[in-house]
A and B are shown apart, each in its own frame.
Chain A
């Protein structure tokens, strides 16, 4: 059912009210919301090659947004490789550090990675789409498997995949956007119940909250906690 709905919706050009109703963004709303992100360190990029232009976005100088961030500590291992859990005498579930030998601790001194992120406008699903690729300390591009170390284990492979970037023309990691409008919609609905309004200009800020839940160790969110 959802699949059919997706197809139907994809043929329609959203109107500005569709943000509140479906979590869709119009190209204009994407541009306005992107302008907000530029106040937080993101940058608009232009596209010169006519073939790589998203013609729905009227301004060739504002085609996609980029940001460079670090990876702080990787999710190399399952968190429970280092932790153990028990119910203590007071009835609390208590987590403790598992005793490890010193060699393991040394391995945790990790090199810093730099990631390049970009956000494009997906014309088919009417939503923003995130792309990323990283380099190690020696500027050497990271392999897919290495980048997966920065992705929450549950989402490796199925959710996060390597695909061709529409403007850059080469492969980058990306999160498939077919459910992005639903997530925006659920944030809008919840805020409404709490008597708040999420404006279309805030769409990309919300979107980055969602990206942060998939890539928690990457410095991508330049905003702070969000009250909805």
Chain B
């Protein structure tokens, strides 16, 4: 399998829908997310793409969950986008983000991208 292929391109809409419905049934208090590398990112792809995260967690906590799975330079910031182009505010809870941006297949698609943005006080 092509490791660069994104989840959405690897399965048909019906397949994705039924996978999502299934998981929603079993885990009603958790949000089904697909988390992938942003096309612009030079970071490695994290080893898993399908996540179930507590709906009360906030975006910055999801950021920490992802950040922990990679080795990121300390001066790099990690940004989370929905559908590759909507930059999320960190203090929103996942439930609200999901209601606003979930895909027609029931998943919400997040991508992560690094930006060297921090100065250091030398």
Closest residue of chain A to B88, judged by CB? A225
Say yes or no: A194 contacts B65, CB within 8 Å.
no
* Chain A residues in 8 Å Cβ range of B85: 194, 227-228
Max chain A Cβ within 10 angstroms of own Cβ: one of B22, B27, B88, B121: B121
Q: Inter-chain contact count A-B, CB under 8 Å?
A: 130
Question: Measured between alpha carbons, how far is A14 from B91 in the docked complex, in Å?
Answer: 34
Contact with A along B86-100 (1 / 0, CB 8 A): 111111000000001
Contact with B along A23-56 (1 / 0, CB 8 A): 0000000000000000000000000000000000
Say yes or no: A216 contacts B22, CB within 8 Å.
no
Interface size on A, residues (CB 8 A): 52
* Chain A residues in 8 Å Cβ range of B79: 213
Q: At the interface, is chain A mostly helix, strand, loop or mixed? A: mixed
* Chain A residues in 8 Å Cβ range of B23: 90, 92
Question: Measured between alpha carbons, how far is A145 from B26 in the docked complex, in Å?
Answer: 42
Closest residue of chain B to A152, judged by CB? B60
Q: Does A8 contact B (CB under 8 A)?
A: no
Question: Measured between alpha carbons, how far is A221 from B60 in the docked complex, in Å?
Answer: 14
With both chains docked as a complex, state the minimum distance between the C-beta of A50 and any C-beta of chain B, in angstroms. 28
* Chain A residues in 8 Å Cβ range of B53: 95
Contact with B along A192-224 (1 / 0, CB 8 A): 011000000000000001101110111101011
* Chain A residues in 8 Å Cβ range of B86: 225-228
